[in-house]
Chain A
Amino acid sequence: MDIDRDLIIKIAGLARLEIEPDQADKFAHQSREIIEYMDCLNQVDTTGVEPFYSPSDKVSVMREDVCLATHERKDILDNAPGHDGKYFIVPRII
């Protein structure tokens, strides 16, 4: 698919961003250039190559299911832009 301003605006929406109209063309141009460069990987034969997602082989580390005192509710809420002392408060959802 061609990366044009409409696609950029659509992707931005999916990523919960909005692009100023005068920025959309610039972003589209830069993104197109970057993704075209990424297409150089098509030159590499990867038939049968297992993807490498992490240098760590510890995929899933289990621990005992015990309660630990980690953080105080107040300390967490102090950083929230909106709260009522008990919960995070957000603008209306529906």
Chain B
Amino acid sequence: MNDKTDTLCATRDLILSGQIKVTEVVQSCLERIRKTEPVIQAFVNIQEVKALDLARKMDEQGPDKDKPLWGIPLTLKDNICTRDQRTTCGSKMLENFNPCYDATLVRKLREAGAIFLGKTNLDEFAEGSSTENSAHKKTRNPWDLNKVPGGSSGGSAASIAAGQSLGSVGTDTGGSIRQPASFCGVFGMKPTYGRVSRYGVVALASSMDQAGPIAANTADCAAILQVISGHDPLDSTSMDVPVPDYLSSLERRTDLKGLRVGLPAQYWEGKLDSEVERVCSKALEQISLAGAETVTLDMPHTPHAVAVYEIIAMAESSSNMARFDGVKYGYRDKEARELLDMYIKTRSRAFGEEVQRRIMIGSYVLSAGYYDAYFKKAAQVRRLIYQDFIQAFEYCDLICAPVSPFTAFRLGEMVDDPLQMYLLDIFTVSLNLAGMAGITVPAGLGDRTDMPVGIQLMGPAFSEELLLQTAHVLENYLPPLPSPRALNE
């Protein structure tokens, strides 16, 4: 894509002023997909014909200024239900599932004029941190094709890094937007729990799941978040809190004067790879240069966050996965002669290894003899983690931390060691446990691996406006990343 149309907001201006047709924008994305998809494998399915048909219709009607994403090509992670368009969750279980309804966020994006180019790859049912658990294919990192894109929204992040669309919506239960955004050098936001409706977003861990934007810059994230946010009667946990004008609020802040940024010792000391530490420290210098004051913090329960997260996530997902029984939708094993046998064979043959492992451990921690020792205990420590955040925000407006202790790892490097893979999520899971908001900003390239390093801003519930403003200022202070190396000819 040329420079003028490589961001959502710039493209929108060109479309509205009649300087470019929607068809041209869509074709440019499809051309980019044809060129890059054979190597990165970000899509589960591509809706070329539907997208072009819609683009032509829109061009005939002419621009609609009231629709904030009119003519903008987007992608969706494939655990977000789309009416009459396959929604597989990266699983054999749902390989032929065609929802008869749109997720609320999809409906809102359609009403705003967005065009969907297709669905992006993910770890099966969003369970993973590398997208290697997909039943379909292995997505590759556009910066190094031998490395993972991160996960579980790895398809969305890789796709944005490769310039295949102008924005994507992923989901983040324990870092699944922020970590792949960091690994692929793009922006990704996990909104506050309750900011975006979960209706039609296939559930992983219901008390932590939240959908959010992945895009090439802060403003594009703001434009997408603007549309998908808001209360929805179909999701009783979505909150009736006013949605600010995120996009125009970005212009109200050009520096970080008066902002207090907290640096929790537990995120910055130990466990951090030295190249990640160096890139993140440079980003901190820019935060100070922009006028913010930094304060060190203590968030003492952070080291326990992965254990708490895994117990709760596995317990909730084992309950959510119970719905896949071969009766109402999805795969059914045809050999079984009796109902119970059908359940067992269907689930054993259609769920991948990680999903089965998590169902079993989830069942164990919820079982009568162990409920108090694991699930209840984890929920108690969850409160302590939540209180760590509440106390931190008495001393600062936002928290700044690395997203991941390492840059993207090699494909296959971690697949046989699930515990080590879980431990990589140490810097992202606490935010989901607390239900608060965060955003990944690309901070630079590691000096050892030459791979992207992201930095994370975290804020209290419903602080998206301040987070986006701060990310926007930081984005302007940091040098932009070059284009992903592995895609350069």
Within 8 A of A (CB), among B167-222: 193-194, 207
Let me know if B336 and A91 touch, CB within 8 A. yes
Let me know if A17 and B351 touch, CB within 8 A. yes
Let me know if B342 and A91 touch, CB within 8 A. yes
Complex CA distance for A1 and B384, rounded to whole angstroms: 28
- Which listed residue (A3, A51, A79, A82) contacts B382, Cβ 8 A? A51
Smallest CB gap from B236: residue in A: A61
Let me know if A55 and B207 touch, CB within 8 A. yes
A90 at the interface (CB under 8 A from B): yes
Note all chain A residues with C-beta closer than 8 A to B351: 17
- Which listed residue (B357, B369, B435) contacts A27, Cβ 8 A? B357
In the assembled complex, 23 residue pairs joining A and B whose CB atoms fall closer than 8 Å, in A order, are A8-B360, A12-B356, A15-B363, A17-B348, A35-B364, A38-B307, A41-B308, A41-B381, A42-B377, A46-B381, A51-B382, A51-B383, A52-B386, A52-B433, A58-B237, A79-B99, A81-B326, A81-B329, A81-B331, A88-B327, A91-B342, A92-B337, A92-B339
Let me know if B379 and A79 touch, CB within 8 A. no
Smallest CB gap from A23: residue in B: B353
Interface size of B as a range: 35 or more
Within 8 A of A (CB), among B292-310: 301, 304, 306-308, 310
> Assuming A27-B357, A34-B418, A38-B307, is B342 touching A56 (CB within 8 A)?
no
Give 1 or 0 for each of A47-64: 1 = CB within 8 Å of chain B CB.
Answer: 001111111101011010
Let me know if B374 and A52 touch, CB within 8 A. no
Complex CA distance for A27 and B367, rounded to whole angstroms: 18
Let me know if B384 and A46 touch, CB within 8 A. yes
Question: What distance in Å separates the Cβ of A85 from its nearest Cβ neighbour in chain B?
Answer: 15
B448 at the interface (CB under 8 A from A): no
Complex CA distance for A38 and B97, rounded to whole angstroms: 35
Let me know if A11 and B339 touch, CB within 8 A. no
Complex CA distance for A64 and B329, rounded to whole angstroms: 29
Let me know if A93 and B339 touch, CB within 8 A. yes
Q: For chain A, what secondary structure do more than half of its interface residues adopt (helix, strand, loop), or is it mixed?
A: loop
Point out residues on B near A: beta carbons under 8 Å: 97-101, 193-194, 207, 233, 236-237, 239, 301, 304, 306-308, 310-311, 318, 322, 325-332, 336-345, 347-348, 351, 356-357, 359-361, 363-365, 367, 369, 374, 376-384, 386, 418-419, 422, 433-436, 461
From B239, B360, B382, B383, residue with most partner A Cβ within 10 Å = B360
- Which listed residue (B239, B306, B343) contacts A16, Cβ 8 A? B343
Note all chain A residues with C-beta closer than 8 A to B233: 63
> Assuming A17-B359, A79-B98, is B380 touching A52 (CB within 8 A)?
yes
Let me know if A79 and B97 touch, CB within 8 A. yes
Complex CA distance for A41 and B339, rounded to whole angstroms: 39
Note all chain B residues with C-beta closer than 8 A to A61: 236
Complex CA distance for A25 and B473, rounded to whole angstroms: 52
Note all chain A residues with C-beta closer than 8 A to B331: 81
- Which listed residue (A35, A49, A54) contacts B361, Cβ 8 A? A35
Note all chain A residues with C-beta closer than 8 A to B194: 55-56
A6 at the interface (CB under 8 A from B): no
Let me know if B336 and A80 touch, CB within 8 A. no
Question: What distance in Å separates the Cβ of B253 from its nearest Cβ neighbour in chain A?
Answer: 27
Complex CA distance for A91 and B360, rounded to whole angstroms: 25
Question: What distance in Å separates the Cβ of A26 from its nearest Cβ neighbour in chain B?
Answer: 9
Give 1 or 0 for each of A25-48: 1 = CB within 8 Å of chain B CB.
Answer: 001001101110110111110100
Note all chain B residues with C-beta closer than 8 A to A93: 338-339
Complex CA distance for A76 and B363, rounded to whole angstroms: 29
Known: A41-B374, A51-B379, A54-B237. 20 other contacts (CB 8 A): A11-B364, A16-B325, A16-B344, A17-B347, A17-B351, A19-B356, A34-B310, A34-B419, A41-B378, A42-B377, A44-B380, A46-B377, A55-B434, A56-B236, A61-B236, A75-B100, A79-B99, A80-B327, A92-B337, A93-B338
Let me know if A30 and B328 touch, CB within 8 A. no
Let me know if A80 and B329 touch, CB within 8 A. yes
Let me know if A53 and B301 touch, CB within 8 A. no
Let me know if A18 and B357 touch, CB within 8 A. no
Let me know if A52 and B418 touch, CB within 8 A. no
Smallest CB gap from A8: residue in B: B360
Complex CA distance for A93 and B153, rounded to whole angstroms: 39
